[in-house]
């Protein structure tokens, strides 16, 4: 069995002006003009530290699995910095053929009524601190955490998925049509 001669991987993510970070154990908190994002890295084999305006990510060892994990964490930290400075926005379209679908936001849930003529409403959860607004047939999801915005849109898309019918004919549902940084 071959052993690696390389040491642990070290990555540094620069913090933009106006963005601060703090580490409490293995929980990284990034604060910026749009809000705060926290991420727990307990299950990932990396060390996280702060060093003069940079977030230092060091893998536990030089093994490929640990090096890949440190690359993933550096990407997550960059997404956190982008989120607190620019934010993330997903636009979704409500599509229906025959039965008019109505979508409402109630507290921290999105309610889809009269989907495919069903009497009971389909309810999905809004994850994290996302803001969901409805503009006609468009649903706009904004937030500072890419994971929360993406999961909220995925929950809504999955809730309106049609099962046991031909998807080429029954196109009703809620679909993402635009993803972008910045509000």
83, 182 Cβ separation under 8 angstroms: no
pLDDT tens, position by position, 43-59 = 998 999 998 889 999 99
pLDDT of 27 reads 95
pLDDT of 5 reads 54
Checking if the pLDDT of 40 tops 70, the result is: yes
The pairs formed by 55-60 with CB atoms below 8 angstroms and a separation of 24 or more are 55/12, 55/13, 55/15, 55/21, 55/28, 56/10, 56/11, 56/12, 57/10, 57/11, 57/12, 57/13, 58/8, 58/9, 58/10, 58/11, 59/8, 59/9, 59/10, 60/8
What integer is the mean pLDDT of 35-42? 95
Domains and CATH numbers, the chain: 10-85 (3.90.930.12), 88-181 (3.90.930.12)
Listing DSSP states for the chain in one string gives: -----S---EEEEEPPTT-EEEEETTEEEEEETTEEEEEE-TTSSEEEEE-SSEEEEEESSSSHHHHHHHHHHHHHHHHHHHHHHT-EEEEEEEE-SSSPPEEEEETTEEEEESGGG-SSPEEEEPPTT-EEEEETTEEEEEES-HHHHHHHHHHHHHHT---SS-TTT---EEEEEEEEE--
Checking if the pLDDT of 66 tops 90, the result is: no
Q: What is the pTM of this model?
A: 0.88
pLDDT tens, position by position, 78-137 = 999 999 999 999 999 999 998 999 999 999 999 999 999 999 999 999 999 999 999 999
pLDDT of 1 reads 47
What integer is the mean pLDDT of 61-65? 89
pLDDT of 85 reads 96
pLDDT tens, position by position, 1-21 = 444 557 888 899 999 999 999
Q: How far is CA 182 from CA 26, 87, 107, 179, in A?
A: 28, 5, 24, 10
pLDDT tens, position by position, 129-152 = 999 999 999 999 999 999 999 999
Would the CA dihedral through 163, 167, 171, 177 be positive or negative?
A: positive
pLDDT of 22 reads 95
pLDDT of 161 reads 93
What integer is the mean pLDDT of 172-181? 96
């Amino acid at each position: 069995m071959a052993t690696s001669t390389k040491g642990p991987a070290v990555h540094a993510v620069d913090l933009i002006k106006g963005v601060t970070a703090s580490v409490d154990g293995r929980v990284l908190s990034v604060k910026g003009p749009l809000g705060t994002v926290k991420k727990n890295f307990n299950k990932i084999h990396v060390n996280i530290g702060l060093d003069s305006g940079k977030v230092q990510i060091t893998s536990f060892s030089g093994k490929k699995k640990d090096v890949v994990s440190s690359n993933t964490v550096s990407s997550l930290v960059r997404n956190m910095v982008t989120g607190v400075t620019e934010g993330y926005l997903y636009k979704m379209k409500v599509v229906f053929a025959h039965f008019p679908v109505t979508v409402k936001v109630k507290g921290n849930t999105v309610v889809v009524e009269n989907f495919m003529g069903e009497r009971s409403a389909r309810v999905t959860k809004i994850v994290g601190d996302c803001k969901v607004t409805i503009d006609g047939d468009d649903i706009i999801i904004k937030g500072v955490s890419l994971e929360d915005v993406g999961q909220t849109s995925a929950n809504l898309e999955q809730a309106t998925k049609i099962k046991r019918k031909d998807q080429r004919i029954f196109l009703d549902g809620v679909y993402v049509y635009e993803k972008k940084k910045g509000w």
